[in-house]
Structure 1
Amino acid sequence: MKRVALDDVRNEPNPLKVHEVRKPVSKVLGTEDFAMNYFELEPGESFSGGMHTHHDQEEVFYIQEGTATFDVRQSVESETEQVEVGPDAAIRFDPGEYQQGVNRGEEQVTGLALGAPGAMHDWDDIESVVYCPDCEQETGHDLDFVEGRFEMTCGECGYEHS
């Protein structure tokens, strides 16, 4: 057994600076089969750096306080649907389902992000939806994390940007 208080978990914000408070609870607990991160999102902040999917993990977001708005797509080409998740509610995303959660309200959002299987996702199994200047449209991009920053490669034309 291992126990931890949130106050004892070191804050590790996203390198893209899309939020200030992210505490990797599962890292401290030493989990191997699922990931658990605690978030506090101020107005305008997001859980991640943009629309993306984990091809290797399902994700569940439990919103404790406030209301998070999730932009959801079934594929890169499909229309974006917005889903609001309020306090004491949860939303689940299948592997391969695109999503981005944002605090579009005026109050802080607190909640948990859980992913399984695995305590860490494989960067090779994440795909982001990003505008490609060569393709002149949003396309699926492979994602890599190199020396503290994200690098993206367009899946259509191979254009690389960070």
Structure 2
Amino acid sequence: MKRVSVDDVENSVQPAATMRPLTDALGLTDVAVNYYELEPGDSFAFAYHSHEVQEEAFYVVSGVATFETEDGPVEVGENEVVRFGRDEFQRGWNRGDEPVRALAIGAPLEYGTQAKLRYCPACDTETESELRAVPDGDGDENGRDAVVAECVECGAETGRWYEGSTDGEVP
């Protein structure tokens, strides 16, 4: 048995106020588990995306999460669970006025190929994006780490998220 306090797990640079990756902390080998707290306007993910191998389930502890899907938006409220199959595109948001708290569970642990679509202003369309970490305080003038999204078509930056901030939707 392994037991951890969510508050003891280090926060990750994400487009959510809080994302605590519980997988390693719990020593999990076959399933991914992440804890999220989304403030209004925050997202679970950097992009509208799908996983080649992994299916995901999101359990909303409190608040209402709105997921972009190929069939349109889907609202998932407190004590509800939504599942996304392999290769099914989705991105969850907090579109409300109250915080959202949720668990994301993915299995198997590996994603396989992950398709990530973001709007590229230079290409004026949704394009595949690649994410890269900007570690060691090189993310900005305040020495914060960052994650940057770049268009694979033209190389334009389509988003930047800083450690301790969720302000990355507009580069």
TM-score bracket, normalised by the shorter chain, equals 0.7 to 0.9
Gapped regions of structure 2 (runs ≥ 5):
136-146, 158-171
For residues 26 and 61 of structure 1, the distance between their equivalents in structure 2, rounded to whole angstroms, comes to 15
For residues 120 and 41 of structure 2, the distance between their equivalents in structure 1, rounded to whole angstroms, comes to 24
* Corresponding residue of 2:130: 143
Q: 2:53 aligns with which of 53, 56, 60?
A: 56
| 1:33 lines up with 2:40 in the alignment | no
Deviation per residue, 1:25-59 (Å, 9 max, x gap): 11201111111000011111111122111112111
Residue 13 of structure 1: how far off its partner (Å): 3.1
| 1:4 lines up with 2:37 in the alignment | no
User: Contact 1:48/1:101 (CA < 8 Å) preserved in 2?
Assistant: yes
For residues 161 and 59 of structure 1, the distance between their equivalents in structure 2, rounded to whole angstroms, comes to 29
Q: 1:121 aligns with which of 90, 107, 111?
A: 111
For residues 111 and 102 of structure 1, the distance between their equivalents in structure 2, rounded to whole angstroms, comes to 11
For residues 160 and 57 of structure 1, the distance between their equivalents in structure 2, rounded to whole angstroms, comes to 27
CA 1:142–1:2: 2 relative to 1, 3 Å: same
Gapped regions of structure 1 (runs ≥ 5):
74-79
Aligned length: 146
CA 1:133–1:61: 2 relative to 1, 3 Å: same
CA 1:53–1:8: 2 relative to 1, 3 Å: same
Q: Percent identity?
A: 40
For residues 64 and 91 of structure 1, the distance between their equivalents in structure 2, rounded to whole angstroms, comes to 12
| 1:104 lines up with 2:95 in the alignment | yes
Deviation per residue, 1:104-139 (Å, 9 max, x gap): 111110010111111x535xx111122346754323
For residues 85 and 156 of structure 2, the distance between their equivalents in structure 1, rounded to whole angstroms, comes to 27
For residues 13 and 136 of structure 1, the distance between their equivalents in structure 2, rounded to whole angstroms, comes to 27
| 1:160 lines up with 2:148 in the alignment | no
For residues 156 and 32 of structure 2, the distance between their equivalents in structure 1, rounded to whole angstroms, comes to 28
Please, what TM-score do these two structures have when normalized by structure 1? Answer: 0.79
One-letter code aligned to 1:13: V
For residues 129 and 47 of structure 2, the distance between their equivalents in structure 1, rounded to whole angstroms, comes to 13
Residue 90 of structure 1: how far off its partner (Å): 0.5
For residues 43 and 114 of structure 1, the distance between their equivalents in structure 2, rounded to whole angstroms, comes to 22
For residues 142 and 46 of structure 1, the distance between their equivalents in structure 2, rounded to whole angstroms, comes to 16
CA 1:67–1:151: 2 relative to 1, 3 Å: closer
